A and B are shown apart, each in its own frame.
Chain A
Amino acid sequence: MINRKTFATAASALLIGFGTVNAHASDAAIAGKVDCIAPAGPGGGWDFTCRSLGRLLDSYTQGGVVVQTINMPGAGGGVGFAHVITKRAKDPKVIAAASTATTARLAQNQFPGMNADMVRWVGAIGTDPGIIAVNKDSSIDSLPALIERLKQDPASVTFAGASAIGGWDHLKILMTAHAAGVKDIAKIKYLSYNNGGSAVTQVVGGHIDALVGVASSSKGFIESGDLKPLAVLGRDHLSAPLDTIPTSHELGIDVDASNWRGFYMPKNVSDAEYQWWVDTLRSASQTESWKLAMQQNGLEPFNLFGDDFDQFVIKQVRSLNDISKEIGIIK
């Protein structure tokens, strides 16, 4: 790819000339075309994360950094993760989209021979809060009422979610029940669907008791009254008009189950190059245009960057590993 290189050099020369990049990062300034690996097919969450980054950086660097989204589906993100580790280990011009689905798989050793500290975690651009909701005619009126049912019989309520068994939606309800003191959480019935939409349809149709999912995909159904929301799984309320839904913390259950959307990059890039990405992402995500885009897509702010984010991810992987062992998903 001679052309790409020439273009990159030309573009970086142009950029440094105009001085649009943050001053303290200019020694490692990244410019020109960068690849954002969306480790899934076109459409869907990771693809959205990469394309959002493209728009974000395009306006923030005034065209100095051009993000090309590369879809690399396979193994629930494992193919993309392996690609970054093995083929791009020192490449500062590659970044890859990740989310809680990635940490859940890392925690359960679903990427054979790979783990979370083989890459550098850069930061998140927003988060999609976890939510529990029931059919509008359900006899369950609140999260405590739901927990009470589960305490009497963990198998008495059936949940639908968009992840596989052991995936993030499944773990959300297990973590919530665990934090609320439900015994025998392994007996909780969870049915997995391919996507949030099918899970919602089954709950709205009254075939399954409760939905465990994310705010963005259930928002429309809550507003139309088809779903009765029980709680947001975290500390913060959703933005208006859904800000009246109680949080799990208010209801006395200590659980945080939002689905962050963020990035990792290769391990062997220089500290300066890593720092450029961290600073750029941090400042770019503060812009008004980005805040608007987040709101339109049902995302809430998630302000962790650089080492803070790296530690957060490592810690999340560890705690998900603990709970997965406890419920017998892994040994």
Chain B
Amino acid sequence: METLNYLLDGFGTALAMDNLLYALAGCFIGTLIGALPGLGPANGVAIMIPLAFTLGLRPETALIMLTSVYAGAMYGGRISSILLNIPGDEPAMMTCLDGYPMAKQGKAAEALALSAIASFIGSLIATIGLIALAPILARFALSFGPAEYFALFVLAFSTLGGVTGKNPIKAALAAAIGLSIATVGIDLSTGTQRYTFDILELYEGVDFIVAIVGLFAISELLLFIEDHHGSAPRREIKVNHLHLPLKSIIQIIPTSIRGGIVGFIAGVLPGAGASLGSFVSYSLEKRLVGANGRFGQGDPRGIAAPEAGNNGAASGALVPMLTLGIPGSATTAVLLAMLVSFNITPGPLMFTQNADIVWGVIAALLVGNVLLLLLNIPLVGMFVKLLSIPPRYLMPLVTMVAFVGIYSISHSAFDLCFMVAFGVLGYILRKADIPLVPIILGMLLGPEMEKNLRHVMQINDGDWLALWNSPLSITLWIIALLGLLLPIILGPLLRARMRRTAD
């Protein structure tokens, strides 16, 4: 088994003392960032990138730290869902449904511990899936030419509206905003300047890390200011003493395994991502065991399913990123930017040319999961205490980190202004209920999608039929079409069920 050898070498990298320490730090910081409302994993990783460079870390160490932040943030997202009924990020939404009722019944500690175990099982299953699937897909990925890539990007966008999207038109609008922003800068295929207005800073386009931090972190600050006028909201958080019967753990194991598998599959599809993973695994579980459960009133399995699902999807999303170089989510996009800046090109060849790094990161995911489980059960009280720090102290700190972080990447005041502008834009869009994630994906996938389309045209002298003349590209087009049409047909039905679930 070639894969097994690589993986063992990977463990050698991940278990080196310094890497292990950075992984631990990453898990801790990640959990903290994930627990803060409004700050998701994408933000967490984006804010940590400058730190990785300032510390002068080696590529594998930096990536291990950042993947730990990623995994940690997925774990942390559940804490505020359960205790405050405020999801830290979108995928943690489903965890509120049973987590908050359980906390209200005075079983917050159990809810937190069980969700940590479910997250662990979900991640573990998906990481095993990643280990099994990635090398196979990596070899297969060499058959992706420009036409196949273009079809894959179309697929990613067509699934964006998705089952969970409240309003597909708004998601499409957001994606269009992202795509328009992506056209700014010098066009690589002709050398022509687009929308740069002779401003040097715009020649390379808009940096999407600036956009992510602005859209999410700064807009969160603005929303907070509007909501509270500087006074802290009342938060009554009480965590009881942990009393965890073995029976409850055994009860959630099958649920977590199913959730992990469903989540992984959802994560592999570019564009669909973690929200779909947690939603589908929750509904599946409810249908399977719903009759003899108390879903929506604090059933432990109602916490386990979405948590296993969204953590599974997080690892699943690494599959297209590592094998095809296509990020399926904002967070994997940030990780991709990180890889590229270390001169490592994700894609089929990375598995042979940078095997040590890839497998080190995969092993680090496994190690990180164990660390997170160990961190989360005894230290949950501490995370809870940190959550009860009034946001009027916490938000300025986050804002400061965001400003310092962005400035240290580019040393440009221009980028800071841009970040604030994106913050205002994010604020307005959130007020209008327009989702932000499609904007990031539009900015990110837009240039690649355009480039591949133009490459197809250049190679084939402008023959549009070249877009679908291989079995692979035809298959991708069909999946894309299904991804676009199914939600329109099935969406209203599913959403109605989701509403009933939520009620």
A interface vs B, CB < 8 Å?
41-44, 70-76, 78-79, 82, 108, 110-112, 155, 158, 164-167, 189, 191-198, 200-202, 204-208, 220-221, 224, 226, 329
Within B455-475, the residues touching A (CB, 8 Å) are 455, 458-459, 461
Q: Are B345 and A195 in contact (CB under 8 A)?
A: yes
Query: Contact string, B189-232, partner A, CB cutoff 8 A, digits 1/0?
Result: 11100000010110110010000000000000000000000000
Query: Are the CB atoms of A329 and B191 closer together than 8 Å?
Result: yes
Q: Are A202 and B409 in contact (CB under 8 A)?
A: no
Given contacts A194-B188, A220-B353, contact A78 B203 (CB under 8 A): yes
What are 30 A-B contacts with C-beta separation under 8 Å?
A: A41-B341, A41-B410, A42-B341, A43-B340, A70-B411, A72-B410, A73-B207, A74-B201, A74-B204, A75-B200, A75-B204, A78-B203, A82-B200, A110-B186, A112-B200, A158-B458, A164-B186, A164-B188, A165-B190, A167-B191, A191-B189, A192-B189, A196-B345, A197-B344, A197-B345, A197-B347, A201-B345, A201-B347, A204-B349, A221-B349
Which residues of B have CB within 8 Å of A224? Answer: 352
Decide: B410 and A205 in contact? CB cutoff 8 A: no
Output the least CB separation between A102 and chain B (Å).
14
Question: In this assembly, does B12 line the interface, its C-beta being within 8 Å of a C-beta of chain A?
Answer: no
Tell me the nearest residue of chain B to A220, going by C-beta: B353
A44 cross-chain contacts in B, Cβ below 8 A: 341, 343
Q: Is the CB of B145 within 8 A of A207?
A: yes
Q: Which of A108, A164, A195, A201 has the most CB of B within 10 A?
A: A201
By a CB distance below 8 angstroms, the chain B residues around A220 are 353
Q: State in angstroms the CA–CA spacing of A224 and B348 once bound together.
A: 14
Chain B interface size band reads 35 or more
Query: Which A-chain residue is minimally distant from B54 (CB atoms)?
Result: A42
Contact B145 A205 (CB under 8 A): yes
Nearest chain A CB to B107's CB is how many angstroms away?
Answer: 46
Minimum C-beta distance from A246 to chain B (A): 25
Residue in A196, A198, A204, A221 with the greatest tally of chain B CB atoms within 10 Å: A198
Please tell me if the beta carbons of A165 and B191 are within 8 angstroms of each other in the complex: yes
B146 contacts A by Cβ under 8 Å? yes
Asked whether any CB of chain A lies closer than 8 Å to the CB of B142, the reply is yes
Specify which of B187, B204, B409 lies most central, judged by the most chain A CB atoms within 10 Å of its CB.
B204
Q: In the bound complex, what is the Cα–Cα distance between A226 and B455 (angstroms)? A: 22
* B-chain residues with CB within 8 Å of residue A158 when the two chains form the complex: 458-459
Contact present for A189 and B459 (CB under 8 Å) = yes
Q: Considering the chains assembled together, what is the distance between the CA atoms of A41 and B337 in angstroms? A: 11
Q: Report if B388 contacts A (CB, 8 A).
A: no
Are the CB atoms of B345 and A74 closer together than 8 Å? Answer: no
Q: Quick check: is B6 within 8 A (CB to CB) of the other chain? A: no
* Apart from the given pairs A74-B201, A195-B340, 17 other A-B contacts in the complex at a CB distance below 8 Å: A71-B410, A72-B412, A73-B409, A74-B203, A75-B200, A75-B203, A78-B200, A78-B203, A112-B198, A158-B458, A192-B188, A194-B188, A195-B343, A196-B345, A201-B142, A220-B353, A221-B349
Residues of B within 8 Å of A73, CB to CB, are 204, 207, 409-410, 412
Q: Which residues of B contact A206 (CB under 8 A)?
A: 142
Q: Is the CB of A166 within 8 A of B191?
A: yes
Complex contacts, B204 vs chain A, CB 8 Å: 73-76
The docked-state distance in angstroms from the alpha carbon of A100 to that of B191 is: 17
Cβ–Cβ contact B325 & A71, under 8 A:
no
Q: Shortest beta-carbon distance, A184 to chain B, in Å?
A: 15
| B383 close to A (CB within 8 Å) | no
Collect the chain A residues with CB atoms within 8 Å of residue B203's CB: 74-76, 78, 110
Q: How far is the CB of A81 from chain B (nearest CB, A)?
A: 9
A329 to chain B: closest residue by CB: B191
CA distance A199 to B380 in the complex (A): 47
Tell me how far the C-beta of A201 lies from the nearest C-beta in chain B, rounded to whole angstroms: 5
- Does B201 contact A79, Cβ atoms closer than 8 Å? yes
Report Cα–Cα, A202/B342, bound state, in Å.
20
Residues of A contacting B345 in the complex (Cβ-Cβ under 8 angstroms): 195-198, 200-201
Q: Lowest 6 A-B CB distances belong to which pairs?
A: A197-B345, A43-B341, A207-B145, A75-B203, A205-B142, A75-B200
Alpha-carbon distance between A165 and B454 when the two chains are bound, in angstroms? 13
Given contact pairs A74-B204, A75-B203, A191-B458, A205 touches B144 in the complex (Cβ within 8 A) = yes
- Does B143 lie at the interface of the complex (its beta carbon under 8 Å from any beta carbon of A)? yes
Encode contact with A along B345-371: 1 for CB under 8 Å, 0 otherwise.
101111011000000000000000000
Q: Residue of B at shortest CB range from A75?
A: B203
A222–B82 CA distance with the chains assembled, in angstroms: 54
User: From residue A155, how far is it (CB to closest CB) to chain B in Å?
Assistant: 8
Contacts of A193 in B (CB 8 A): 451
Is the beta-carbon distance between A205 and B143 smaller than 8 angstroms? yes
- When distances are taken between beta carbons in the complex, the residues of chain B under 8 Å from A191 are 146, 189, 455, 458-459
Chain B residues 410 to 461 lying within 8 A of chain A, measured CB to CB, are 410-412, 451, 455, 458-459, 461
Q: Given A43-B342, A78-B200, A197–B190 Cβ distance below 8 Å?
A: no
Tell me the smallest distance from the CB of B144 to a CB of chain A, in Å.
7
Mark out the residues of chain B between 328 and 343 whose CB falls within 8 Å of any chain A CB in the assembled complex: 340-343
Output the nearest chain A residue to B353 by Cβ-Cβ distance.
A220
> In the complex, which residues of chain B have a beta carbon less than 8 angstroms from the beta carbon of A189?
458-459
Instruction: State in angstroms the CA–CA spacing of A189 and B145 once bound together.
Output: 16
B200 with A74: CB separation less than 8 A = yes
Given A165-B188, A201-B347, CB of A41 within 8 Å of CB of B142:
no
B417 to chain A, nearest CB (A): 14
Q: For residue B52, which residue of chain A has the nearest CB?
A: A42
Complex: chain B residue closest to A226, CB-CB: B349
Q: Which residue of B lies closest to A216 (CB)?
A: B343
Provide the bound-state CA to CA distance between A196 and B325, in Å.
14
Least distance between B150 CB and chain A CB atoms (Å): 12
> Complex: how many Å from CA A194 to CA B412?
23
The answer to whether B412 touches A74 (Cβ under 8 A) is: yes
Set of chain A residues within 8 Å of B458, measured between Cβ atoms: 158, 189, 191
Q: Note all chain A residues with C-beta closer than 8 A to B341.
A: 41-44
Contacts of A202 in B (CB 8 A): 145-146
Minimal Cβ-Cβ distance residue in B for A165: B191
Given A42-B341, A205-B143, residue A164 in contact with residue B191 (CB < 8 A)? yes
